[in-house]
Chain A
Amino acid sequence: MQTAIFIQDLSKSYGKEKHRATALKNVSLEIGQGELFGLIGPDGAGKTSLFRILATLLTPSSGKATVEGFDVVKDYREIRRRVGYMPGRFSLYCDLSVEENLEFFATVSGATVRENYDLIADIYRQIEPFKKRRAGKLSGGMKQKLALCCALVRRPAVLLLDEPTTGVDAVSRREFWDILKNLKDEGMCIFVSTPYMDEASLCDRIALIQGGEVLSTNTPANLVASYPFTLYKTRAENNYLLLEQLRTQSNVRFCYISGESLRVVFHEGAERVIRYPSSEAEEVTPSIEDCFIQLMKKR
C-alpha cells in the first residue's frame, strides 16, 4: 500500500512562552492510499490542529508532514490541488444555493461538476431535491452532505474530514459513514476525525489521540484484542452507589460508568466478586471506548 499521508514527530504549540498551549506533541502517523483512517479523541485533543496542518492552513512548530509526497510547508500549492478538506465548522456560503455552492467550489478548484459527477452522484442525489435552496437553510445532515460534495467535486486524492458527523442525527451519521465506505472503495485516502467512539469500528485503522499525543495506532479489531485485562460489566438500581462500593473493594483494579452499566477490572488473581446486593459481574469484550479509557489511565 502506498503512503498518502506521512506524519513524523509533528508538534504544534500556540502562543508565546508564558501562555504556551501545546496542541500536538510528537505525532507520527502513516496513512495509506485507499485507507479509511480514523482519528479518535475527545474535544481539545488536537484533532483540528492536525487537520489544519495537513490542509496547509497552519504551519507546524516542528516535525514533518507530507500529503501525497508533498511537504505541507514547502509544497503547499501542490497539496491544495490534491486534498479535499471539510472543516469541522460548516463553511460553505449560506447565501448561495446548493447547486451554486457546488459549482463555485468546483470551478475555483479548477474542475467542473460534470466531469466529476460520478464521484458525488450518490450523495448529491440525496440533496438534489433541495438544489435551489440556500445552503444556510438546510438541515444539519444535509449541510454535511453538501460540504462533502463540495470537498469531493475536485476529485481529491486525499479527503480530510474534521468531525463531519458532530451535531448530526444518528440516521444521517450512519448514511454518512456508508458514503465514506463507498468512497474508500474508489481508492481515495480518507482521514476522518470524530469524538464518537462507536464510529471508530467503521474505520480500517484508528489512532487514539489525547492531549496532543497519539496513544495508540491500530486496527479496531487489534486494538480490542490487545486489551490487557478481562473486562466485566455490572449494573444496579443505583449505579452511583455501586460505583462507590466498588471503589472501596480491594480486589477491584479500576471501575467506571459506561452508559447504563459499569465496567470493572479486577486485580490479577483476585476474587471476582462484587459485594453489592443483586449485582453480578459478567464478562464482556471491550469496546473502543474501553480501550481508550484504559490507555488514558496508563499515562
Chain B
Amino acid sequence: MRALRFLLKKEFLQIFRNKFMVRLIFGLPVIQLSVLPWAATFEHKDIQLCVVDNDRGSYSVRLREKVISSGFFKLSAYRTTYAEALESVEEGESDLILEIPAGFEKRCVNGIASEVMLSVDALNGQKAGLGVLYMGNIIQDFNASVQGEPGNMQAMAVVKPYYKYNLRMHYQNLMVPGVIVVLVSVMGAMLSAMNIVREKEMGTMEQMNVTPVSRSVFILAKLIPFWVIGLVNLSIGMLLSWLIYGLLPSGNMVVIFVFAFFYLLAFTGFGLMISNFAQSQQQAMLVVFFLLVIFILLGGLFTPISSMPGWAQGVATFNPVRYFIEVMRLVYLKGSGFADILPHLLKTGVFLVVFNILAVMGYRKKSM
C-alpha cells in the first residue's frame, strides 16, 4: 500500500510538472466545447438559391418570398432560363434551382395541381438532402396557405412534428453531451497510452522492473491518475456546457458520474493496454488515433448507429464510446435513471474487465 501511495505521488508530480500536460488537461475542454458544438450542426442555413421564374405572376413572387423569408435560403441568382441557372450551379454560385413553370398562378387559382422543379447540386449530399427537405416543407406550407384562401376551400391535412425530448430540435442539445464524451475519451486514452511507453523510452522502466512492485500495483498506479483527470475533465465539460449552452442534464447528474466512474476506468485501461504493447510513443499515439477515429465515427455522435448497415452495427457493439454517448444523451435529454442505463453499464463493465486484464497481462517485467 505504501508503495502504491508513492507511485501515485510520483505520477501526479510528473503530470503536474509537465506544463504542457496541465495546459492540455484544462485547455482542451474549453476549446472543444466552445467551438465544436457550433461547427458540428446539421442545420443548414444560407443555401444558395437560383430562381427561374417562367410565370412572373404574383403567386410565384409570393412563393419566392416565402422561400427566402424562411431563413434557410439565400437568393444568389435570378435567371431567365434553366440553362442559365445550370451555369450558375456549375460556377458554384448556387446550390439549388427552383424553376416555376409558366401558368403557375393560373393553375393555382383554379385549384389544379401544379409542379415546380427543384434541381440540386448533390456534391455535398447532406446539403442537397436538407435543401430539398426544407424546400418541400415550404412548398407544402405555401400550398396550405393558398388553399386556405377564400374560393379554395379544400380540406388539407398538415403535418406538425413534435420533437420529444428536444422540443426545438436544437442540435447543440444533441452534440454537446456527445462532445463531452469525445473529450474525456480522447484525453483518457491519449494520456494513458503515452505513459507506460514513455517510461520504456526513457529507460526508467528498466529500473522499475527490478523493484519488487507487482504488476497490478504498477498498473493501478498508472490507472488512478488518468481516471481522476478524466473525472475532472468531465466535470469541467459539464460546467462549460451549462455556462455556454445553458445545458443541464434533465436527469440526475449522479447517474452520469456513476457511469463515468466505470467508463473512465475501462478507457484508461484501454490506453494502458496499448501503451504496454507499443514500443515507442509514436506507435502508441498512432494506434490510439486509429482506434479513436473508428470509435468516434461509429459512436453515433454524427450519424445514428441504427442507420448503419448490419455489420457496422455489429462493430459498434464493441465500441465503448458509443455507450457513453448514449448514456449522456439519455440523461441529458430524456432524464433517464439508473434502471434505463443498466444495460450500458453492464457492457462497460465487460470492457473494464477485459481492457484492464489485458493491460496487466501485457505489462511484462521480463523480456524473452
Chain A interface residue bracket vs B: 20 to 34
Q: Is there contact, CB below 8 Å, between A80 and B212?
A: yes
CA–CA, A81 and B211, complex, Å: 7
**CB-defined contacts of B17 to chain A, threshold 8 Å:** 95
A245 at interface (Cβ–Cβ under 8 A)? no
- Closest chain B CB from A176 CB (angstroms): 18
The reply to whether A110 and B212 contact each other, CB–CB distance below 8 Å, is: yes
With an 8 Å Cβ cutoff, the count of chain B residues facing the other chain is: 25
Q: Mark A71-87, 1 if CB is under 8 A from B, else 0.
A: 00000110011010101
Query: In the complex the two chains form, is A109's CB within 8 Å of B211's CB?
Result: yes
Give the number of A-B contacts (CB < 8 Å). 76
B1 → chain A, closest Cβ, in Å? 11
19 CB-based A-B contacts, threshold 8 Å: A58-B366, A58-B367, A59-B366, A83-B210, A85-B206, A85-B207, A89-B203, A89-B206, A91-B206, A93-B204, A94-B202, A96-B14, A100-B10, A105-B211, A108-B3, A108-B6, A108-B7, A108-B211, A109-B211
- Per DSSP, chain B at the interface is helix
B21 to chain A minimum Cβ distance, whole angstroms, is 11
CB-defined contacts of A80 to chain B, threshold 8 Å: 210-212
Q: Contact: A107 with B3, CB < 8 Å?
A: yes
Taking the complex as formed, is A90 at the interface, i.e. its CB lies under 8 A from any CB of chain B?
yes
Q: Does A150 contact B (CB under 8 A)?
A: yes
Interface flag for A130 (CB, 8 Å): no
The 7 closest A-B pairs by CB, nearest first: A91-B203, A107-B6, A91-B207, A85-B210, A89-B203, A108-B211, A87-B206
Known: A80-B211, A89-B203, A105-B207. 4 other contacts (CB 8 A): A58-B366, A83-B210, A105-B211, A109-B211
Q: Flag if B204 contacts A56 (CB, 8 Å).
A: no
- B residues with a Cβ closer than 8 A to A are 2-3, 6-7, 10, 13-14, 17-18, 202-213, 365-368
Given known A-B contacts A81-B212, A85-B210, A109-B212, A57 and B3 have beta carbons under 8 A apart: no
What separation, in Å, do the CA atoms of A91 and B10 have in the docked complex?
A: 15
A150 to B10, CA, bound (A): 15
Chain B residues contacting A105 (CB-CB under 8 Å) are 207, 211
Q: Are B213 and A108 in contact (CB under 8 A)?
A: yes
Residues of A within 8 A of B6 (CB): 103-104, 107-108
A87 CB contact (under 8 Å) in B10, B18, B207, B211: B207
Residue of B at shortest CB range from A73?
B366
Q: Scoring A residues 44 to 60 as 1 if CB is less than 8 Å from chain B, else 0, what string do you get?
A: 00000000100111110
B contact residues around A77 at 8 Å (CB): 212
B10, B18, B206, B212: the one within 8 Å of A57 (CB): B206
Q: How far is the CB of A47 from the nearest CB of chain B, in Å?
A: 15
Asked if A92 is an interface residue, CB under 8 A from chain B, the answer is yes
Q: Is the CB of B366 within 8 A of A93?
A: no
- What chain A residues lie within 8 Å of B365 (beta carbons)? 56-57
A100 to B10, CA, bound (A): 8
Q: Find out whether the CB atom of B209 lies under 8 angstroms from the CB atom of A57.
A: yes
Interchain CA distance A58-B206 in the complex, whole Å = 11
A94 to B198, CA, bound (A): 12
Q: Which residues of B contact A90 (CB under 8 A)?
A: 203
Complex: A74 Cα to B65 Cα, angstroms: 86
Q: A91–B202 contact, CB under 8 A?
A: yes
Residues of A contacting B206 in the complex (Cβ-Cβ under 8 angstroms): 57, 85, 87, 89, 91
CA distance A108 to B207 in the complex (A): 11
Provide the residues of chain A in CB contact with B13, threshold 8 Å: 95-96, 100
Q: In the assembly, what is the distance between CA of A250 and CA of B205, in Å?
A: 56
Q: A105-B207, A150-B207 are in contact. Are A110 and B3 (CB under 8 A)?
A: yes
Chain A residues contacting B7 (CB-CB under 8 Å) are 108
Tell me if B2 and A107 are in contact (CB < 8 A): yes
Asked whether A87 lies within 8 Å of B203 as measured between CB atoms, the reply is yes
Chain B, residue nearest A109 (CB): B211
Q: Is the CB of B366 within 8 A of A56?
A: yes
Chain B residues with CB under 8 Å of A87's CB are 203, 206-207
Residue contact A57 to B204, C-beta cutoff 8 Å: no
CA distance A56 to B211 in the complex (A): 10
- Residues from chain A with a CB closer than 8 A to the CB of B10 are 93, 96, 100, 104
- Specify the chain B residue showing the minimal Cβ separation from A150: B207
Contacting residues, chain B, for A109 (C-beta < 8 A): 211-212
Contact in complex: A76, B366 (CB < 8 Å): yes
